[in-house]
Chains A and B, each alone.
Chain A
């Protein structure tokens, strides 16, 4: 398990600028999918399924995962379950020394692809449950 606080992580907005169209695209895509991630019972199982690894931010997150896109280009997913005050939230960050080589559009595409694959894991590991509809659309 890695410790994320020692890594420099940035969002698409920092890569593309404050008017990043892909940040909005990702936020919209994640919004419909994040609720399904409440059904993840085994984070290391999820990490294995997507070929990533469990990380620790040390910031009270319920779980965090990273996945290498290319050498020097990594996506980080930071999840907090819903509680009585807040809805569930999935934050997307990027890191690595080659991150600036890759276009925001492509990073957004990879991130959405990875989250879709996470939903396939949710579907695979919760066959007996009625899941959010988005799980059956990936």
Chain B
């Protein structure tokens, strides 16, 4: 079972735009890559199992998110994946945020790339845990 964190109240979470500046090229790169992957994450039935699969932990940010998973990349460098399922009004959304006292050491393109490959690993989890279901095409391309 993946560990579950209970207290995130004092964590500072930032996006690539805060790391790279308002015109972050890599933020746009992530947004483009996330778009075709979002629908597949609707097939995640148990966030704790997904967290375990990627070597992360379930978090609760208190932002009414459906699930949040944090993954440590290096000590002092963490990625947070914040997911909201689609509802009648809004499509699904996945936000990628970063945290840790060494986050500023990292380059934006490294952070963007590692977030994307972690999401690819999430799609492998979706594929492995939904045998026989008709999944979005992207699941079969990772």
Does B4 sit within 8 A of A, measured CB to CB? no
Task: Name the prevailing secondary structure of the B interface residues.
Answer: helix
CA distance A51 to B71 in the complex (A): 12
Q: Of the candidates B52, B54, B72, B117, which one forms a contact with A51 in the assembled complex, judged by CB atoms under 8 Å apart?
A: B72
Q: Is B110 an interface residue (CB 8 A)?
A: yes
Q: Mark B91-125, 1 if CB is under 8 A from A, else 0.
A: 00000000000000101001001100100110010
Q: Does A2 lie at the interface of the complex (its beta carbon under 8 Å from any beta carbon of B)?
A: no
Picked from B53, B107, B124, the residue with its CB within 8 Å of the CB of A138 is B107
Q: Is A102 in the interface zone, CB < 8 Å from B? A: yes
Bound-state CA distance A133–B53 (Å) is 38
Contact of B74 among A50, A70, A102, A103 (CB under 8 A): A50
Q: Are A113 and B114 interface neighbours, CB within 8 A?
A: yes
Residues of the A chain whose Cβ atoms lie less than 8 Å from the Cβ of B72: 51
Among A70, A116, A117, point to the contact of B121 (Cβ < 8 A). Answer: A70
Q: Assess whether B105 is in contact with A120, with CB atoms less than 8 Å apart.
A: yes
In the bound complex, residues from chain A placing their C-beta under 8 Å from that of B121 are: 70, 101-102
In the complex, A8→B138 CA distance in Å?
31
Please state if B55 and A70 are interface contacts (CB–CB under 8 Å). Answer: yes
Please list the 7 inter-chain residue pairs (A to B) with the smallest Cβ-Cβ separation, ordered nearest first.
A106-B117, A70-B55, A51-B75, A71-B55, A51-B74, A113-B110, A120-B105
Inter-chain contacts of B107 with A (CB < 8 A)? 116, 138
* Contact (Cβ within 8 A) A103 B52: no
Apart from A71-B52, A106-B120, A116-B107: 5 A-B pairs, beta carbons within 8 A: A70-B55, A71-B53, A71-B55, A109-B113, A110-B114
B142 in the interface, Cβ–Cβ < 8 Å?
Answer: yes
Find out whether the CB atom of A117 lies under 8 angstroms from the CB atom of B74. yes
Q: Specify which of B107, B113, B117 lies most central, judged by the most chain A CB atoms within 10 Å of its CB.
A: B117
Cβ contact within 8 Å between A110 and B110: no
What are 25 A-B pairs with beta-carbon distances under 8 A? A49-B74, A50-B75, A51-B73, A51-B75, A68-B55, A70-B53, A70-B55, A70-B121, A71-B55, A101-B121, A101-B124, A102-B124, A103-B142, A106-B117, A106-B120, A109-B117, A110-B114, A110-B117, A113-B73, A113-B110, A113-B114, A116-B107, A116-B110, A117-B74, A120-B105
Query: B residues 12-66 with Cβ under 8 Å of A?
Result: 52-55
- B residues within 8 A CB of A71? 52-53, 55
A51-B74, A120-B105, A138-B107 in contact; A113/B113 too (CB < 8 A)?
yes
